[in-house]
Amino acid sequence: AQSVTQPDIHITVSEGASLELRCNYSYGATPYLFWYVQSPGQGLQLLLKYFSGDTLVQGIKGFEAEFKRSQSSFNLRKPSVHWSDAAEYFCAVGPMEYGNKLVFGAGTILRVKS
Protein backbone atom coordinates (compact mmCIF):
# COMPACT_ATOMS: atom_id res chain seq x y z
CA ALA A 1 0.00 0.00 0.00
CA GLN A 2 1.13 3.52 -0.70
CA SER A 3 1.96 5.59 2.35
CA VAL A 4 3.86 8.68 3.38
CA THR A 5 5.36 9.21 6.82
CA GLN A 6 6.27 12.58 8.23
CA PRO A 7 7.80 11.69 11.60
CA ASP A 8 7.72 15.19 13.07
CA ILE A 9 4.31 16.58 13.96
CA HIS A 10 5.73 19.91 15.14
CA ILE A 11 9.06 21.60 14.58
CA THR A 12 10.17 24.92 16.04
CA VAL A 13 13.15 26.78 14.62
CA SER A 14 14.57 30.21 15.18
CA GLU A 15 14.31 32.76 12.43
CA GLY A 16 17.43 32.59 10.32
CA ALA A 17 18.21 29.01 11.29
CA SER A 18 18.26 26.14 8.84
CA LEU A 19 15.35 23.76 8.45
CA GLU A 20 14.93 20.14 7.48
CA LEU A 21 11.54 18.42 7.35
CA ARG A 22 11.59 14.67 6.98
CA CYS A 23 9.50 12.56 4.64
CA ASN A 24 9.62 8.81 4.04
CA TYR A 25 7.42 6.99 1.59
CA SER A 26 6.35 3.49 0.78
CA TYR A 27 5.45 2.89 -2.83
CA GLY A 28 5.43 -0.05 -5.20
CA ALA A 29 7.26 1.76 -7.94
CA THR A 30 9.13 4.97 -8.46
CA PRO A 31 6.67 7.66 -7.55
CA TYR A 32 6.39 11.31 -8.23
CA LEU A 33 7.14 13.24 -5.02
CA PHE A 34 5.82 16.58 -3.86
CA TRP A 35 6.00 19.05 -1.04
CA TYR A 36 3.01 21.32 -0.37
CA VAL A 37 2.59 24.13 2.15
CA GLN A 38 -0.69 25.11 3.78
CA SER A 39 -1.18 28.37 5.64
CA PRO A 40 -4.28 28.99 7.77
CA GLY A 41 -7.26 29.75 5.57
CA GLN A 42 -5.29 29.02 2.43
CA GLY A 43 -5.28 26.15 0.01
CA LEU A 44 -2.33 23.88 -0.49
CA GLN A 45 0.48 25.45 -2.48
CA LEU A 46 3.04 23.37 -4.32
CA LEU A 47 6.60 24.08 -3.17
CA LEU A 48 8.44 21.63 -5.39
CA LYS A 49 8.21 18.29 -7.13
CA TYR A 50 10.47 15.45 -8.18
CA PHE A 51 9.86 13.38 -11.26
CA SER A 52 13.25 12.13 -12.38
CA GLY A 53 16.81 13.24 -13.04
CA ASP A 54 18.76 15.34 -10.58
CA THR A 55 17.87 14.16 -7.10
CA LEU A 56 18.20 17.66 -5.63
CA VAL A 57 15.27 19.80 -6.69
CA GLN A 58 14.75 23.48 -6.17
CA GLY A 59 11.40 24.99 -5.38
CA ILE A 60 9.77 28.27 -4.60
CA LYS A 61 10.49 30.44 -1.57
CA GLY A 62 14.06 29.16 -1.30
CA PHE A 63 13.12 25.56 -0.51
CA GLU A 64 14.89 22.50 -1.85
CA ALA A 65 14.43 18.77 -1.42
CA GLU A 66 16.61 15.75 -1.99
CA PHE A 67 15.35 12.40 -3.22
CA LYS A 68 17.21 9.42 -1.78
CA ARG A 69 15.97 6.21 -3.33
CA SER A 70 17.95 3.96 -1.00
CA GLN A 71 16.30 5.55 2.02
CA SER A 72 12.89 6.11 0.42
CA SER A 73 13.14 9.69 1.60
CA PHE A 74 12.39 13.11 0.20
CA ASN A 75 13.42 15.62 2.86
CA LEU A 76 12.66 19.32 2.53
CA ARG A 77 15.30 21.87 3.44
CA LYS A 78 15.77 25.60 3.67
CA PRO A 79 19.06 27.24 4.67
CA SER A 80 17.53 30.23 6.46
CA VAL A 81 13.97 30.28 7.74
CA HIS A 82 11.83 33.42 7.69
CA TRP A 83 8.92 34.09 10.05
CA SER A 84 6.58 33.91 7.05
CA ASP A 85 7.52 30.24 6.58
CA ALA A 86 5.44 29.29 9.62
CA ALA A 87 2.79 26.95 8.20
CA GLU A 88 1.97 23.28 7.81
CA TYR A 89 3.99 21.27 5.32
CA PHE A 90 2.81 18.15 3.57
CA CYS A 91 4.79 15.56 1.66
CA ALA A 92 2.89 13.65 -1.01
CA VAL A 93 3.44 10.88 -3.53
CA GLY A 94 1.66 10.24 -6.80
CA PRO A 95 1.84 7.56 -9.44
CA MET A 96 3.75 8.07 -12.64
CA GLU A 97 0.55 7.65 -14.61
CA TYR A 98 -1.04 10.85 -15.73
CA GLY A 99 -3.11 12.79 -13.30
CA ASN A 100 -3.96 10.33 -10.56
CA LYS A 101 -4.58 10.86 -6.92
CA LEU A 102 -2.00 12.03 -4.43
CA VAL A 103 -1.26 10.29 -1.14
CA PHE A 104 -0.31 12.76 1.59
CA GLY A 105 1.57 12.49 4.82
CA ALA A 106 0.02 13.76 8.05
CA GLY A 107 1.94 17.01 7.86
CA THR A 108 4.52 18.87 9.92
CA ILE A 109 3.62 22.14 11.62
CA LEU A 110 6.50 24.60 11.49
CA ARG A 111 6.76 27.29 14.12
CA VAL A 112 9.31 30.07 13.74
CA LYS A 113 10.50 31.92 16.81
CA SER A 114 12.08 35.33 16.63
Contacting residues toward other proteins, per CB under 8 A:
4, 9, 32, 36, 41-46, 49, 51, 90, 92, 94, 96, 98-107
Check: CB of residue 56 under 8 Å from CB of residue 64.
yes
DSSP code string of 76-94: EEESS--GGG-EEEEEEEE
| Min dist. Cβ of residue 86 to other proteins (A) | 17
Q: Tell me how crowded residue 8 is: count the other CB atoms within 10 A of its CB.
A: 15
Q: Specify the residue, 13 or 92, whose C-beta has the smaller distance to other proteins.
A: 92
| Min dist. Cβ of residue 31 to other proteins (A) | 11
Q: Specify the residue, 15 or 32, whose C-beta has the smaller distance to other proteins.
A: 32
16: left (phi over 0), alpha (psi -120 to 50) or beta: left
Q: Specify the residue, 85 or 94, whose C-beta has the smaller distance to other proteins.
A: 94
